[in-house]
Amino acid sequence: MALTSKTIQTKPFDGQKPGTSGLRKAVKVYQEENYTENFVQCTLTAALGEKLTGSTLAVGGDGRYFGKEATLRIIQICAANGVSKLLVAHNGLMSTPAVSCVIRKYKTDGAIILTASHNPGGPDADFGLKYNIANGGPAPEGVTNAIFEMTKTITSYKVCPDLTVDISKLGKQEFQVDGRSFTVEVIDSVSDYVAYMKEIFDFGAIKGLLQGSGGKPPLNVLINSMHGVMGPYAKKVFQEELGTPASNTVNCEPKEDFGGLHPDPNLTYAADLVKELEKGQHGFGAAFDGDGDRNMILGQNAFFVTPSDSLAVLADNLECIPYFQKTGVKGYARSMPTSGAVDRVAKKKEKKCFEVPTGWKFFGNLMDAGLLSLCGEESFGTGSDHIREKDGLWAVLAWLSVLASKNKSVEEVIRQHWSQYGRNFYTRYDYENCESAPANKMMENLGNFISDSSNIGKPFSSGDKTYTVAKIDNFSYTDPVDNSVSKNQGIRIIFSDDSRIIFRLSGTGSSGATIRMYIEGYESDTSKFNLSPQVVLKPLIDIALNISQLREITGRQEPTVIT
Ligand code: G1P
Ligand code: ZN
């Protein structure tokens, strides 16, 4: 079909700087006239420059409301901008880790992902667009800054309004646009992704664990896809490949509003999974977020695996996974607020452990440089250098590989880990949807606290505990590969026993401000391992609230989510 493109006049707009994971806004904003078109044009021009003409890109998303409409718009804009080929997700559905896998497998120049990750979906909720580069990872700051700069100057965008594509039909559809050929190939990313998982893991060993073998009873699992994009992937892996009954994979129908739920796998928003696991009938439970990059792992009776501990346990056991037998373990990394449990494993194994700012994009350079195999964040993100995004289902398969090789339950594996390394008690308090002005004020006060060097050496007491301030700063990171510097990545108050209090404002929320307070304290006394982190960390929590004056300044007495 021969088609022609049009140039539509537009105006600079409030594009806002894309945060750690793209530009997330209320869907209503994306529906405003030209908003989506403007942002897509800025993304293509700023991210690809001269490479745009003749490029190949992938497009897919988490299935949320407005995704299909936006996908069609993206196809029309790509066609008009001289892109030569688009790999489009079947029905628009492609998890974020699968996008990363597809970029790398088909060597595309990048991808546009339609997601607001773990934020709610639906006509009154959120939408987002994110750009990933040719290595499969989120666009680095240089690219997101360039996109933002262009939102301030854009005057027109190009579109091919008569082009229509049926994204429910797999296969190639060819077009002629302005005399150039333009191909849309609708792909089934579930097969590509699952084929890759089968190269990475020993599916036979995992199947033995789930089905029971050598006299061991089957491990009864419960995988909750939270009505996000992961349903089809979970069904294919668990039902088709590993032969578990359909009842073991729940909430697997992707829904535009995630069934009205908040698709974030934590103890608050995945309470359904927690309740089911508390019944004691399952030995392993997991949930994913809307776009499938986050994971939460639970053991029998809802034994909670802190993401920081999950990372440390995987770090200690990577050798049981065929992929790492081949590649070797190059190094580890964690985001700054993530607990230091993985550092202890790295030390024992004499490997490097990098501490980077929050956000997956910082891991990509280290992976590309061959310095990093496994990394994670306290925010339910775990992944490896098999792709350049965190990967929820990969983490679940990694855990099942560890359980199969150790022949132990989730709780036994964690307890054994603590007895070997000690326990990094950890908790995170989220104060979501605060008013911005008081939240900024509190951060400003904390900024003053850390710039006052007379605070170093000061004791802070609560109950029978006294902590002495050893180091205060706003975390700054110099990327060892490209030497780029990222400043002001979080206020740190570190005490002489290595306990830490950290404050930062979320970069991914879509309304108001979200304050995150992270608390960590290390314990080697085995008699304390059974205590709740809320009990062990109470004195540090009180000190953090006291120093920050969080309650007084924001008026918020309790956090919305405790992890
Ligand atoms: C949050 C998490 C962070 C994660 C990001 C994207 O960012 O804290 O670890 O990389 O989501 O999933 P934040 O809202 O804290 O900026
Ligand atoms: Zn996500």
> What is the position in ligand 1's atom list of the atom closest to the CA of 509?
14
- Compute how many other C-beta atoms are within 10 angstroms of the C-beta atom of residue 247: 8
Digit-coded pLDDT (tens) for 234-266 = 999 999 999 999 999 999 999 999 999 999 999
**Same domain, yes or no: 179 and 197:** no
Indicate the DSSP class of residue 323.
H
* CA of residue 504 to ligand 2 center, whole Å: 19
Domain boundary among 133, 162, 187: 187
Indicate if ligand 1 lies below 6 Å from the C-beta of 359. Answer: yes
Q: Is 293 helix (H, G, I), strand (E, B) or coil?
A: coil
pLDDT at 17: 81
pLDDT at 510: 64
> Nearest ligand to the C-alpha of residue 263?
2
**Same domain, yes or no: 216 and 343:** yes
Tokens (6 digits) for 272: 């359904």
Indicate if ligand 1 lies below 6 Å from the C-beta of 561. Answer: no
Which of 17, 20, 296 best tests ligand 1's pocket when mutated (most atoms within 8 Å of CB)?
20
- Are 284 and 387 a contacting pair, CB within 8 Å? no
> What is the position in ligand 1's atom list of the atom closest to the CA of 507?
16
Instruction: Look at residue 21 and tell me whether its pLDDT is greater than 80.
Output: no
Tokens (6 digits) for 480: 């060892």
**Same domain, yes or no: 220 and 285:** yes
**Same domain, yes or no: 267 and 336:** yes
Residue owning the nearest CA to atom 11 of ligand 1: 508
Indicate if ligand 1 lies below 6 Å from the C-beta of 358. Answer: yes
Indicate if ligand 1 lies below 6 Å from the C-beta of 516. Answer: yes
Digit-coded pLDDT (tens) for 498-556 = 899 999 999 876 678 999 999 999 989 999 999 999 999 999 999 999 999 999 999 99
Q: Is 333 helix (H, G, I), strand (E, B) or coil?
A: strand
> Nearest ligand to the C-alpha of residue 336?
1
Residues 6+ apart with CB under 8 A from 436: 512, 513
pLDDT at 512: 83
Digit-coded pLDDT (tens) for 384-398 = 999 999 999 999 999
Tokens (6 digits) for 229: 């994009």
Indicate if ligand 1 lies below 6 Å from the C-beta of 20. Answer: yes
Which of 294, 506, 561 best tests ligand 1's pocket when mutated (most atoms within 8 Å of CB)?
506
Query: 321-335, 358-372, 386-400: lowest mean pLDDT where?
Result: 358-372
Domain boundary among 385, 406, 421: 421
Digit-coded pLDDT (tens) for 133-150 = 999 999 988 899 999 999
**Same domain, yes or no: 146 and 99:** yes
CATH number at residue 309: 3.40.120.10
pLDDT at 14: 75
Into how many domains does the chain fold? 3
Give the Cα separation of 517 and 429 in Å (integer): 5
Residues 6+ apart with CB under 8 A from 541: 427, 429, 519, 534
| Sign of the torsion angle spanned by Cα atoms 316, 319, 324, 329 | positive
Indicate if ligand 1 lies below 6 Å from the C-beta of 335. Answer: yes
Tokens (6 digits) for 36: 């989506």
**Same domain, yes or no: 151 and 202:** no
- Are 290 and 304 a contacting pair, CB within 8 Å? no
| Mean pLDDT along residues 56-85 | 98
- Are 199 and 45 a contacting pair, CB within 8 Å? no
Q: What percent of the chain has pLDDT over 70?
A: 99
Residue owning the nearest CA to atom 1 of ligand 1: 508
**Same domain, yes or no: 63 and 108:** yes
Indicate if ligand 1 lies below 6 Å from the C-beta of 122. Answer: no
pLDDT at 507: 80
> What is the position in ligand 1's atom list of the atom closest to the CA of 504?
15
Residues 6+ apart with CB under 8 A from 444: none
**Same domain, yes or no: 80 and 196:** no
Give the Cα separation of 120 and 487 in Å (integer): 30
**Same domain, yes or no: 547 and 447:** yes
Q: Give the domain extent around 35.
A: 2-187
pTM score, two decimals? 0.94
Give the Cα separation of 103 and 60 in Å (integer): 11
Which of 339, 358, 443, 486 best tests ligand 1's pocket when mutated (most atoms within 8 Å of CB)?
358
Instruction: Look at residue 12 and tell me whether its pLDDT is greater than 70.
Output: yes
- Are 371 and 330 a contacting pair, CB within 8 Å? yes
Tokens (6 digits) for 179: 């005399």
Residues catalogued as catalytic: 117
CATH number at residue 491: 3.30.310.50
Domain boundary among 145, 169, 187: 187
- Across the chain, mean pLDDT equals 96
Buried-exposed string 406-415: b where 16+ CB fall within 10 A, e elsewhere:
eeebbbebbb
**Same domain, yes or no: 27 and 149:** yes
**Same domain, yes or no: 402 and 516:** no
* CA of residue 117 to ligand 2 center, whole Å: 4
- Are 308 and 328 a contacting pair, CB within 8 Å? no
Give the Cα separation of 536 and 145 in Å (integer): 42
Alpha-helix residue ranges (DSSP H) falling in 49-95: 67-80
**Same domain, yes or no: 436 and 416:** no
| Mean pLDDT along residues 411-427 | 97
pLDDT at 508: 74
- Are 117 and 290 a contacting pair, CB within 8 Å? yes
